[in-house]
């Protein structure tokens, strides 16, 4: 099988189109014809910010992948012909850490577009372990390519929300309503929380308010003290708790991280979902003073993917209003436009034959 890919060859260098044969598959590997691959903030970090990849360059980026299995190794034949979502983080499933449920820090994990070639391509070869099967979509208003964003943009906040033990009636705060944040708001709402959305983009805030955010705050118009006061007032007026807020930082920016940290209250949970290579100054003693928890979240365990997919297929989380499809042949211009904030939706790249 001839694979056509767009390879990263250096930081701040345009991706280069290359072709190669797929080669022989190992027993547990599968070859997937890619339906769609989402562009993530992490891809921009590799390409523009010099965040090092674990595999040396050249490397095909892209880790939000959906597609159809067309060939398999001898031990994975049950996957032939199945539509799947490829987890962005694929633990080995066999090591001691995986056995203890800590697959997110599995030393043998595979991260497509980081450890191996990823999804900015017509096809990708990945391990079969952890693939999420997709049911027949013919009667639904959604296509396989759309589901690519589940791998990271949707599942990563899902896992963070699960870890927070958020329950119905809780107050959830999402800082950063970009690609990941839009889904964090919807997932928290689907679990019964009242959700506050914070961003610097008025258009994003208006859009998410139409879906499920009960309160929106524009961080470009008020400082963190004013935001915390506004949230306290809203909570009091609506009979919501003034303690144990569930806060999710999804912006991946120093300003967003500072805002999220400033909103800590007694017993709060802070889920750090967004990534930035830049540093920020925080007074860690606030965690002690508020008896609060801050927890990072690396990807999502494959076992959570089916539950996340169910939320989408049931209509409790909407994908289509927050994505736009673009041809993969235009990838260099699209990456630049995403970097320059000229595209607000999550881009799903569609490979051409």
pLDDT the model gives residue 1: 83
pLDDT the model gives residue 168: 97
> What is the C-alpha to C-alpha distance for residues 350 and 34, in angstroms, rounded to an integer?
8
From the list 126, 147, 150, 152, the residue with the least C-alpha distance to 137 is 147
pLDDT single digits (tens) 204-245: 999 999 888 999 999 999 999 999 999 999 999 999 999 999
Domains of the chain: 2-152+317-350 (3.90.180.10), 155-296 (3.40.50.720)
Instruction: Collapse the DSSP code of 154 into the 3-class scheme (helix H, G, I; strand E, B; otherwise coil) and give the result.
Output: coil
pLDDT single digits (tens) 328-348: 999 999 999 999 999 989 999
Q: Tokens standing for 320?
A: 């289509």
Q: Tokens standing for 162?
A: 């699960």
> What is the C-alpha to C-alpha distance for residues 143 and 141, in angstroms, rounded to an integer?
7
C-alpha distances (whole Å) from 202 to each of 28, 179, 206, 212, 322 are 47, 15, 6, 16, 15
Unique residue bearing structure tokens 């802070």: 270
Asked whether the whole model's pTM tops 0.85, one would answer yes
pLDDT band for position 25 (cuts 50, 70, 90)? very high
Instruction: Collapse the DSSP code of 334 into the 3-class scheme (helix H, G, I; strand E, B; otherwise coil) and give the result.
Output: helix
From the list 216, 212, 116, the residue with the least C-alpha distance to 175 is 216
Neighbours of 37 (CB within 10 A): 35
C-alpha distances (whole Å) from 279 to each of 164, 225, 252, 266 are 25, 21, 11, 25
Cis bond leading into 319, ω under 30°?
Answer: no
pLDDT single digits (tens) 293-302: 999 999 999 9
pLDDT single digits (tens) 271-299: 999 999 899 999 999 999 999 999 999 99
């Amino acid at each position: 099988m001839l694979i056509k890919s767009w390879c990263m060859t250096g930081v701040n260098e345009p991706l280069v189109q290359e072709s190669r044969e797929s080669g022989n598959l190992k027993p547990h590997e599968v070859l997937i014809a890619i339906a769609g691959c989402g562009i993530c903030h992490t891809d921009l970090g590799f390409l523009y910010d010099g965040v090092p990849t674990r595999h040396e360059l050249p490397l095909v980026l892209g880790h939000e992948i959906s597609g159809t299995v067309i060939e398999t190794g001898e031990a994975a034949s049950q996957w032939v012909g199945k539509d799947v979502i490829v987890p962005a983080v694929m633990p080995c499933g066999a090591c001691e850490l995986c056995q203890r449920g800590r697959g997110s820090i599995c030393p043998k994990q595979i991260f497509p577009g980081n450890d191996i070639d990823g999804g900015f391509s017509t096809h990708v070869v990945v391990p079969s372990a952890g693939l999420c099967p997709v049911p027949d979509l013919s009667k639904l208003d959604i296509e396989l390519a759309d589901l690519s964003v589940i791998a990271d943009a949707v599942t990563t906040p899902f896992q963070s929300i699960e870890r927070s033990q958020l329950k119905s009636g809780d107050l959830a705060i999402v800082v950063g309503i970009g690609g990941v944040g839009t889904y964090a708001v919807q997932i928290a709402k689907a679990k019964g929380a009242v959700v506050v959305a914070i961003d610097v983009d008025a258009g994003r805030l208006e859009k998410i308010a139409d879906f499920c955010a009960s309160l929106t705050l524009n961080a470009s118009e008020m400082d963190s003290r004013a935001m915390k006061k506004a949230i306290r007032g809203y909570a009091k007026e609506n009979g919501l708790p003034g303690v144990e807020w569930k806060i999710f930082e999804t912006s991946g920016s120093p300003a967003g991280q500072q805002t999220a940290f400033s909103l800590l209250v007694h017993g709060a949970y802070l889920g750090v979902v967004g990534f930035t290579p830049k540093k920020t100054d925080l007074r860690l003693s606030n965690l002690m003073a508020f008896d609060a928890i801050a927890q990072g979240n690396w990807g999502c365990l494959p076992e959570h993917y089916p539950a996340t997919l169910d939320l989408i297929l049931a209509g409790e989380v909407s994908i289509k209003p927050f994505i736009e499809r673009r041809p993969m042949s235009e990838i260099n211009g699209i990456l630049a436009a995403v970097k320059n904030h000229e595209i607000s939706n999550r881009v799903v790249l569609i490979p051409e034959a």
